[in-house]
Amino acid sequence: MVLVLLVLVPEGMMLVTGVKSPAMAVLSESMEPAIKKGDMVFVHNMSNEPFREGEVVLFKVDGFEHPIVHRVIKVYEHRDTGEIRILTKGDNNSVDDRFLYASGQLWLQPHDIIGRVAGYLPYAGWPSVFISEAYKMLLNGGSTTTPEVLWV
């Protein structure tokens, strides 16, 4: 019975949220004070609504192992083509995320967005943070440079 639950619950969550792994631990301070390192965020991708400034999204960037959770600070729709462009920024960062995007990329597009953060659970991600930092220390000879979020 327990084995069945371990298989069916994640599959059910994936169907409900539209995201492969709908819960993940935040591994950095870039979204503080709104979302803190060690919080668990819950992501969904079932909304057909347009992206809005102020919402928190999860996106993937080429060259980064883990996705990033940051706030949308600008949404631009090209009048002629209808192309949507999105600019993000961590609440605790002094500049926008263009330095994180792929080389030459100035905006995210909707296909770069994995999902929208629907909520979070404070402190629930700390076990994943500890494991990730211990693993990084082993691999990097003591360095604890961490990615943005860790899939759970």
Task: Give the Å distances, CA to CA, from 4 to 23, 29, 72, 92, 121.
Answer: 19, 36, 38, 41, 25
Are 87 and 142 in contact by the 8 Å Cβ rule? The answer is no
Beta-bridge partners for 108: 86
pLDDT tens for residues 82-133?
A: 999 999 999 999 999 999 999 999 999 999 999 999 999 999 999 888 888 8
Residue 148, pLDDT score: 59
Task: Give the Å distances, CA to CA, from 70 to 6, 20, 57, 89.
Answer: 30, 19, 6, 6
Residues catalogued as catalytic:
30, 70, 97
Please name each of the domains of the chain with its CATH number: 2-151 (2.10.109.10)
Q: Which residue has the higher pLDDT, 104 or 146?
A: 104
d(CA 87, CA 71): 9
d(CA 4, CA 76): 45
Buried b (16+ CB within 10 A) or exposed e, 19-29: bebbbbbbbbb
pLDDT band at 143; cut points 50, 70, 90? low
pLDDT tens for residues 23-57?
A: 889 989 999 999 999 999 999 987 788 999 999 99
pTM above threshold 0.85: no
In terms of residues, how long is the chain?
Answer: 152
Burial class of residue 50, CB neighbours in 10 A (0-12, 13-18, 19+): exposed
Q: Which residue has the higher pLDDT, 124 or 135?
A: 124
The 10 Å Cβ neighbour count of residue 117 is: 22
Residue 19, pLDDT score: 52
pLDDT tens for residues 68-81?
A: 999 999 999 999 99
d(CA 19, CA 76): 25
pLDDT at residue 140 tops 80: no
The pLDDT of 4-8, averaged and rounded, is: 41
